[in-house]
Chains A and B, each alone.
Chain A
Amino acid sequence: MSDNLKYTAEHEWIKIEDGDVAVIGITAYAQDALGDLVYVDLPDVGRKVAKGEDFAVVESVKTAAEVYSPVSGEVVGVNDNLSNDPELIKKSLEEGWIAKIKMEDAAEIAGLMDKEAYDKFVAEQDH
């Protein structure tokens, strides 16, 4: 079943808005692995990120996880609500997104997994 999202092997989800803006969050698999979230280190708006670069860090009681950008572009929005309530990440796509990146090359998302491929990837991780 498709959900119009794209996924990475680092367990980020990507939703495309307005044709060239990638909204990025972390998947339920990553949320489970991290456990209780206590802090999110957000990037500055305007920051340029390269594909594969880490642009945010999600801290849980147990560990810190970097969030990697699946695309190159410029940060055009961050979810400031996460500063006060990092657990929002787990609530929904609308409330739990981390950052929006305006893509330089929208073709970069073509190489990412769709839901079916990602589910299969996650199933393999657990075995």
Chain B
Amino acid sequence: MTSKTPLYDAHIKLNAKMGPFAGYDMPLYYGEGVMAEHEWVRREAGLFDVSHMGQIILSGPEALAFVEKLTPSSFGKIPEGRAKYTVLTNSKGGIIDDLIITKRGPDRFFAVINAGCKEKDIAWIKENLPSGVTLERLDDRALIALQGPMAEQVLRDVLKVDTEGMPYMWMIDAELSDGTPYYISRLGYTGEDGFELSVPADIADGVWTRLMQHGAVKPIGLAARDSLRLEMGYCLYGHDIDENTSPIEAGLSWVMGKENTGFIGAGRILSQKEDGVERQRIGVRLTEKGVAREGAEILSAQDMRKIGTLTSGGFSPSLKEGIGQGYVESDWAQAGKKIFVSVRGRNIAAEIADMPFMQARTKSMKKAA
């Protein structure tokens, strides 16, 4: 059984090619195709329905301690409004999900979790929930992402919100002209400036339609969302990270807070941080023509020995070449190392590359003075 987001009818009206994703019937692409959509986001502003993702709130006197137990990040000293990318870890140090948590108050945290992990995450949170924390599911809210260099202008023109000076990874409360409250976060998964709007499900179609009327806005499906995030080297849960990869292997140690040593899985993860790991997530750039996708073997260019596997891969519409990410033996995790990726028996010349593959154009995280 597949679910529908509150914007399902809007996608059908736009003639989207729909397909199943994480139990939802979602738009994969619209009329102009993936390449045009991808380029539009890098140049103008793209509108994405990400309502399939879960929105939850953790609140209560022990909420701060609880989010610092669920994740290796620190939330104590950050200001209210600050959003952080982090991971939920299991007791073996693996990643249950990657998510964004926003501090809404000293005892109140808003989180957006992956659609495919929603029920698992909530079960995990409930299992660990202390008596001093309440978990609230915001299933009656939609999530609309507006991404691209024109996003700020579009918000100003359509919703009459001025976000100039609003930092990256930041959330504010806003009101529609009829007084309906909603939240605006300046973040996204494309590497462009952009926003996510959390709005009540029953008005989502109206907000979507108004934004769509702006000349700089086109709808963007999940296929371009994937190529956009891949160019940024962002992880796709279930592919680039999962319950058997640790944040250290995944190159996500930057999410860890120095003061936080009491999170679930800390034993394993902190010792990995100290002693190193056997495999690491890396970027791969094809130096020959071709496309390598998830599952392709990564071979040493010296002796053709298998040294790893691609976990994501595809054609980069911006760079016009094949890119990917995967895991290799740690000795090989160094940009510039020559490798091959094996695709249907053909060995395509490639090299280990730094990520992101192209510069992100997000705003500064600093608050304007």
Contacts and interface: CB of A to CB of B under 8 A. Distances in A.
B307 interface: no
B291 A36 contact: no
Interface in A47-62: 57, 59-62
B344 A57 contact: yes
A18 B236 CA distance: 51
Most chain B CB within a 10 A radius of its CB, from A35, A57, A60, A61: A61
A7 to B, nearest CB: 23
A36 B34 CA distance: 7
Contact of A41 (B38, B317, B346): B346
Contacts of A35: 29, 33-35
A61 B227 contact: yes
A39 B289 contact: yes
Given A41-B344, A41-B346, A64 B35 contact: no
Contact of B33 (A36, A39, A41): A36
Most chain A CB within a 10 A radius of its CB, from B34, B227, B291, B317: B291
Top-5 shortest CB links A-B = A36-B35, A38-B315, A59-B291, A61-B34, A35-B33
B314 interface: yes
Most chain A CB within a 10 A radius of its CB, from B29, B223, B315: B315
Interface of B: 28-29, 33-36, 38, 223, 227, 289-291, 293, 314-315, 317, 322, 343-344, 346
Given A38-B291, A64-B293, 4 more contacts: A35-B29, A35-B34, A64-B291, A83-B289
Contacts of A62: 28-29, 34, 223
B37 to A, nearest CB: 10
30 contacts: A35-B29, A35-B33, A35-B34, A35-B35, A36-B34, A36-B35, A36-B36, A36-B317, A38-B315, A39-B290, A39-B291, A39-B315, A41-B290, A41-B343, A41-B346, A59-B290, A59-B291, A59-B315, A60-B34, A61-B34, A61-B35, A61-B38, A61-B223, A61-B227, A61-B314, A61-B315, A62-B28, A62-B34, A64-B293, A83-B289
B5 to A, nearest CB: 21
A27 B346 CA distance: 26
A79 to B, nearest CB: 15
A126 B293 CA distance: 28
A35 B28 CA distance: 12
Contacts of A60: 34
Contacts of B289: 39, 83
A106 to B, nearest CB: 29
A29 to B, nearest CB: 14
Interface in A16-51: 35-36, 38-39, 41
A59 B290 CA distance: 8
A89 B314 CA distance: 20
Contacts of A38: 291, 315
Contacts of B290: 39, 41, 59
A99 B29 CA distance: 30
Nearest to A61: B34
A29 B293 CA distance: 24
Contacts of A57: 344
A41 B29 CA distance: 25
Nearest to B29: A35
Contacts of A83: 289
Contacts of A39: 289-291, 315, 322
Nearest to B317: A61
Nearest to A84: B289
Nearest to B34: A61
Contacts of A41: 290, 343-344, 346
A57 B289 CA distance: 13
Contacts of B293: 64
A36 B224 CA distance: 12
Interface in A64-110: 64, 83
Contacts of B291: 38-39, 59, 64
Contacts of B314: 61
A100 B317 CA distance: 30
